[in-house]
Homo-oligomer: A and B are copies of this chain.
Amino acid sequence: MKCSTAINLMISGVLVCMSTAIHAQTDDNSTSSRIEPAILETANALIDTALKSNLGYEIVESLTTEVGPRLAGSEAEKRARDWAEKLGDSLSFDRVSVEEFTMPFWDRGHLHISLTQPYKQALYGTALGGSAPSTEDLEAPVVYFRTVHDIQNINDGELNGKIAFIDGEPMVKSQTGAGYGPSNQKRRIGWQHAQRGGASALVIRSVGSDSHRFPHTGMMSSDNNNWATIPVIAISNPDADHLRRLHELNKTMHLSLHSGSDWQGDVTSGNVVFDLVGRDKPDEIVLIGGHLDSWDLGTGAVDDGAGVAITTAAAELIARLPHRPRRTIRVVLFGAEEVGLLGARAYAAQHAAELNNHVLATESDFGAEKIWRLRSNVNPDANAVIDGIGRQIERLGIVRGDAKSPGGGPDIIPLAAAGVPTVRLDQNGTDYFDLHHTPDDTLDKISPEALAQNVAAYAALVYIAAESEAEFRLPKATEDKE
């Protein structure tokens, strides 16, 4: 046994690590001195208000109903920005702005895919983001790969005239979503090997934890900014099971497919920014947000209408307090997240000069189930304040996670990379990848009660962070003090 800190005692020959207890006591003392009781009282009242409010649900209902699917760069995403501008104006924000940027537009077009040998059967598939069209109606025999690792061993040209199919293992379900990364490899890089092998197309098992007949779309990774020149299609898990069973029966399989997906040149996208200007330190920004774009198959309720709704509603509830918090609260509804964090990168570039004034940032982009954990990555001197926030939202069923979790959400990555401190309120992701990037991501999947819990947690977190004097930013050059 070994203690990770210096403080320990030998009692009757047994090593007793005291760090936790002593540390907790320190927290209690320091936090009570750091978060003023009045702030905690207001945060508590915000939680009560949020739990009774339907505002979050109304926002996501409006977005999904009045705008619908919002593919990055499409006219639908433009309508979403118009919707967001109108929403911001109708709420209590002090500034509403649209910050445009240019991006390459990939459009799905029409797809059909079917099994043609050993018999004809329609498959439920969808093109992956960044994939190329088929030049003609394609019909070819299938070469089966059990996993993405297997296709990495092929020789160049070995798949000429064939369609590669990468199966895979069932995705592990968990509240952290830990199964996504490993499962996603076939979506990310599978095409590079299929194309190198000369395949006419690549078909993969969807990256998803459900067993429904929905394909999961999503972006592939580019190969040094080169995209696939072949169609790359994800089929539903039951369809992949079907091909696996036929393969195990040694049946020769042929697929026919036609994909119209392609890059369409540069278009305009944008981020929509809502500000509640701080009464005391208007230049210091607590940034929260979600992303406004969605994949085009569903209506983007869970991914990420929920994040838009949660963070906007939390800020609005704070805006209805008698006065603005000390710091500015900024809600950023990012554009073009799904296709490579393009809005997030544009935001970081356009706001490069003021990133040092971003004192804390977080995004809600992991669905709409209840939040179960608070993690952070801030100046260690301010951990006690985050711990205090954790105690404040404990009654919402939220536990305090570790204080060394870089992140804050996908669109926060460019900010975190520039040194902006982050926190994260983790939604329970157990079922998130059942819906993720499928046609089934629709409003009916959101529980108003769970959404209200999210709004309550965000409202308390953001209010305390903006109202307190805590310095979350890391001192330059001594980022890892301990």
Contacts and interface: CB of A to CB of B under 8 A. Distances in A.
Interface of A: 61, 64-69, 76, 79, 115, 118-121, 124, 211-214, 237-238, 241-242, 245-246, 249, 298-299, 438-440, 442-445
B61 A119 contact: no
Nearest to A442: B238
Given A66-B249, A68-B119, A298-B213, A241 B444 contact: yes
Given A65-B245, A242-B299, A249-B65, A213 B76 contact: no
Contacts of A69: 121
Given A67-B119, A119-B68, A211 B245 contact: no
Contacts of A119: 67-68, 76, 79
Given A79-B119, A299-B242, A440 B213 contact: yes
Nearest to A445: B211
Nearest to A214: B213
A245 B440 contact: no
A124 B69 CA distance: 14
**Residue of A65, A120, A213, A439 contacting most chain B CB atoms (<10 Å):** A213
A68 B443 contact: no
Contact of A212 (B79, B242, B440): B440
Contact of A444 (B79, B211, B445): B211
A115 B64 CA distance: 14
A444 B209 CA distance: 13
A445 B214 CA distance: 14
Given A76-B119, A119-B76, A299-B242, A213 B65 contact: no
Contacts of A442: 213, 238, 241-242
A118 to B, nearest CB: 8
Contacts of A298: 213
B238 A124 contact: no
Contact of A238 (B211, B249, B443): B443
A212 to B, nearest CB: 6
24 contacts: A61-B245, A65-B245, A65-B246, A65-B249, A66-B118, A66-B249, A68-B115, A68-B121, A69-B121, A76-B120, A79-B119, A211-B444, A211-B445, A212-B212, A213-B438, A213-B440, A213-B442, A237-B444, A238-B440, A238-B443, A241-B442, A241-B443, A242-B299, A245-B443
Contacts of A245: 61, 65, 443
A65 B242 contact: yes
Contacts of A118: 66
Nearest to A76: B119
Given A119-B76, A119-B79, A439-B213, A444 B238 contact: yes
A308 to B, nearest CB: 17
A444 B237 CA distance: 9
A242 B67 CA distance: 11
Contacts of A299: 121, 242
Contacts of A120: 76
Given A66-B118, A213-B442, 16 more contacts: A61-B245, A66-B249, A68-B119, A79-B119, A121-B299, A212-B212, A212-B214, A212-B440, A213-B214, A213-B298, A213-B439, A237-B444, A238-B443, A238-B444, A242-B299, A242-B443
Contacts of A61: 245
Contacts of A444: 211, 237-238, 241
The 8 closest A-B pairs by CB, nearest first: A238-B442, A213-B439, A68-B121, A65-B245, A211-B444, A213-B440, A238-B444, A212-B440
A373 B245 CA distance: 34
A445 to B, nearest CB: 8
A242 B438 CA distance: 16
Nearest to A251: B66
